[in-house]
Amino acid sequence: MDVRIGFFSFTEITDPGAHRAYNEWHQLDHQPEQYTIPGVAYGERWVATPACRAARAVVDERLAPAHYVTIYLMGPPLQETLEAFGALAKSLWAAGRFFEPRRALLSGPLEITGRAVAARALVSADVVPVRPNRGVYVVVEASTGPPAAGALDALAALPGVAGAWAFDATSAFSALGFDAGAHRITVAWLDEPPLSVAPALDGIVDGGDVFSGPVVFAGPFETIDPWAWDWFDA
């Protein structure tokens, strides 16, 4: 797990009837194909079910439509990995293996700037993302810079939180066409149902001690089980 960046995508599905098709494409075609790139160490995507969307503590106009969030963890050589990541997307598009009724609301590589793990998890902070989870709680701040000392530990100390990582936008890869804007993203991996853990995390967001920048998004997402894609069928 020699990873240095997380490539994020907050995604909206623009056709309300296309969620099943999108999930089939992403889980069974698009995401597995990323592992042909040596620098891609791990990837996972989570869903903001209708209940999760209703439980958001903070959401601005830009990220309000997000149905899913994806993270690819990448290691060195970073420039070559990102170049291959972009080239693969273009080649899949040219081959007709891309999904059109979608929109990336916030996308790009962010540097990993902090990691913490709950003592009860019995694993190192470096492997928290690959530990099985029941979902994540994601906080997006309109600022950059490492998290405050102890901030991630405070998150990891909450019941139901297995660990937390912080990611900060960097301009280092803008020449490659990637730009995540001036954002810090904090991800807490959960081993209890996201909707049951969210109120405690909401309290930390509202408290103002952990997150120093203006918070533009804070809310839960659930783990996606293959072929269980019925959240938006109604």
| pLDDT, tens digit, 9 for 90 and up, residues 191-225 | 999 999 999 999 998 876 788 789 999 999 999 99
List, in sequence order, every residue forming a beta bridge with 220; answer none if it has no partner: 137
Sorting pLDDT into bands at 50, 70 and 90, what band is 180?
A: low
Residues written for the chain: 234
User: What phi and psi values does residue 127 have, to the nearest 5 degrees?
Assistant: -115, 10
Q: Quick check: bond before 109 cis, omega within 30?
A: no
94: exposed, middle or buried (Cβ count in 10 Å: 0-12, 13-18, 19+): exposed
d(CA 138, CA 178): 21
Q: Residue 10 pLDDT > 90, yes or no?
A: yes
Q: Which helix (H) or strand (E) holds 22?
A: helix 19-25
- Give the residue from 227, 231, 234 showing the smallest Cα distance to 24: 227
Q: Residue 150 pLDDT > 70, yes or no?
A: yes
What distance, in Å, lies between the first and last C-alpha atoms of the chain? 40
What's the mean pLDDT when you consider all of the chain? 93
What amino acid is encoded at 32 in this protein? P
Q: Residue 175 pLDDT > 90, yes or no?
A: no
The stretch 72-76 carries a mean pLDDT of: 97
Name the percent of the chain lying above pLDDT 70: 99
Q: Residue 181 pLDDT > 80, yes or no?
A: no
Query: Which residues have C-beta within 8 Å of that of residue 171, sequence separation ≥ 6?
Result: 179
The stretch 31-38 carries a mean pLDDT of: 96
In order of their start, the domains of the chain are 5-223 (3.30.70.100)
